[in-house]
Amino acid sequence: MANLGVEFAGVEFKNPVLIASSSLTNHPTKLRRLEEAGAGGIVTKLASNAVPPRVDRQPYRSVMLGNGAWTVAGGDRRLTLEEGVDLIKTAKKELHIPIIANVNGKSYFADSWVEAGLALEKAGADMLEIPLSAHIYHEEEDGIPVFTGDSIGQYPELVGAMTRALKDAVKIPVIAKVSPYVIDVSLLGLAAKQGGADGLTAAARAGGFAGVDIRNGGKPIFPGIELEDGTPAQSLSGPMGAPSTHVSPYYTIVLAKNVGLPLSSVGGIMDWEIAVQRLMVGATTAQLCSTVYLNGLKAVTDCVAGMNRFLDEYGYRSPADIIGLGLPYIVDREQLVFHPLKAVITDTSWNGWDEVVERVQGDCLALTMQGGVPVIDQDACTGCSLCYWYAPEGAVRIDVQK
Ligand SMILES: Cc1cc2nc3c(=O)[nH]c(=O)nc-3n(C[C@H](O)[C@H](O)[C@H](O)COP(=O)(O)O)c2cc1C
Ligand code: SF4
């Protein structure tokens, strides 16, 4: 039987399934339920000594986008530093799993970050996670705009400086949740490493937009949010959940290959198979968020159980055995050698071939129906494999021509 325990950035977790910072983690009752459901650790809701008066005092409003995608209109209410301290104190009294405090300070004023970090350490946090890509808004100090949230996360110098300030102040490990709003995320990871980070969270969610009501003059699709003068309004808000399943691993992989710090992967981890995927591409822990909102606490229990079954079935003794297994196979595109492929139909009797031909005909010049039977012109087949994916399993074979 596998032992699910992992060591991540200097802290021992009973399993690699963590809960990401969000409103799921802003209340002691929710934390208790998450522990009971089997979470290996919890990242608490952002506590900050820079809570803007209006924007970040709102509870989130969900907007369902379908197919496992959703977003929150206008962000989510963050905790004041005092609320964060109380939450951590209660959690440390009542729970037995590691508690990671998601924390930031005001703009790029390192003293403010340090003050917040020290308070949460004193409250009992086992680790700090600094979200370097919190909500976008701009403040002014003596009439001069100062950096907050996203803008800090985009500058390696500031990432390094905030990490260093906290590392020099606290004794517990500090991990940096890096911003995806950059061309090369490794620069941020390396800056955090230089600042002394013990690990990285890969990565905050990327930008996006829920949509407008096309049948209502382009107004917001969600009611109850407006400008002070009563005009309906909304902000940009990236999709979460399933859309990130194949976006977030990009950051995990790039950071795993280029930075060499322990990684916690987050974004679109909807089930145990995706969690195993993230470990195989270099993460030590996997953070669940959207799946818990969309599927309940069972998502946590199922993820832990599924990972356990998987390790047993394939003879791995612990998560450490699979961390990074897939990385050596992920290389620069220029290094790839493509062998020619040809599609061969192995079941002409299936009655859905007309539809496959219709679907692929935008690009495929090889597959046609002749006398009610699908035929592939081998010379014209480019091996694109579209027909393979549309046909049922076993109806098309792809031959590799070496
Ligand atoms: C309502 C809500 C509030 C969130 N609050 C925070 C936060 O305070 N700090 C933070 O670093 N991330 C926050 N996040 C982002 C999540 O931690 C996570 O990175 C993101 O949702 C991507 O994971 P997912 O695709 O599984 O949802 C929040 C997400 C949601 C849905
Ligand atoms: S592999 Fe691509 S090109 Fe070849 S038959 Fe199928 S769809 Fe057409």
DSSP 71-109: EEET--PPEEHHHHHHHHHHHHHH--S-EEEEEE-STT-
327 in contact with ligand 2, CB cutoff 6 A = no
- Name the helix (H) or strand (E) containing 44: strand 41-48
User: How far, in Å, CA of 41 to CA of 95, rounded?
Assistant: 10
Structure-token match 């008066």, residue found: 53
The ligand minimizing its distance to the Cα of 381 is 2
326 in contact with ligand 2, CB cutoff 6 A = no
Regions of the chain where pLDDT drops below 70: 51-57, 74-75, 134-150
Strand 285-288 versus strand 174-177 pairing type: unpaired
How many beta carbons lie within 10 A of that of residue 362, not counting itself?
Answer: 7
**Nearest-CA neighbor of 391 among 370, 371, 376?**
376
If you measure from the C-alpha of residue 131 to the centroid of ligand 1, how many angstroms do you get, rounded to a whole number? 10
Going from the C-alpha of 320 to that of each of 262, 284, 313, 316, the distances in angstroms are 12, 8, 16, 9
The contacts of residue 67 (CB under 8 Å, 6+ apart) are 242
If you measure from the C-alpha of residue 337 to the centroid of ligand 2, how many angstroms do you get, rounded to a whole number? 20
Query: Do residues 281 and 253 lie in contact, with contact meaning Cβ atoms separated by under 8 Å?
Result: yes
User: How far, in Å, CA of 196 to CA of 163, rounded?
Assistant: 7
According to DSSP, the residues that pair with 6 across neighbouring strands are 13
The ligand minimizing its distance to the Cα of 358 is 2
26 in contact with ligand 1, CB cutoff 6 A = no
pLDDT at 136: 42
CATH class belonging to 337-400: alpha beta
User: How far, in Å, CA of 132 to CA of 121, rounded?
Assistant: 19
Q: Quote the Cα angle for 22-27-29, to 5°.
A: 125
Q: Where are the domains of the chain?
A: 6-329, 337-400
If you measure from the C-alpha of residue 376 to the centroid of ligand 1, how many angstroms do you get, rounded to a whole number? 48
Confirm whether 6-329 and 337-400 share one CATH topology.
no
Atom number in ligand 2 closest to CA 386: 7
Best mutation site among 356, 357, 382, 390 for ligand 2 pocket (most ligand atoms within 8 Å of CB): 382
Residue 62 tokens, joined: 């969900």
Residue 252 has phi, psi (to 5 degrees) of: -60, -45
Atom number in ligand 1 closest to CA 20: 17
pLDDT at 74: 67
Atom number in ligand 1 closest to CA 133: 11
Residue 337 has phi, psi (to 5 degrees) of: -110, 120
Residue nearest to atom 10 of ligand 1 (CA): 21
Domain covering 6-329 assigned CATH 3.40.50.2000 in the classification: no
Residue 382 tokens, joined: 């480019």
Residue nearest to atom 8 of ligand 2 (CA): 364
The pTM is what? 0.94
**Nearest-CA neighbor of 387 among 349, 369, 364?**
364
Q: Give, rounded to a whole angstrom, the gap between the first and last alpha carbons of the chain.
A: 41
pLDDT per position as a tens digit, 273-308: 999 999 999 999 999 999 999 999 999 999 999 999
CB crowding 242-280: b at 16 or more within 10 Å, else e:
bbbbebbbbbbbbbbbebebbbbbbbbbbbbebbbbbbb
343 in contact with ligand 2, CB cutoff 6 A = yes
Query: Do residues 135 and 181 lie in contact, with contact meaning Cβ atoms separated by under 8 Å?
Result: no
185 in contact with ligand 2, CB cutoff 6 A = no
Residue nearest to atom 23 of ligand 1 (CA): 267
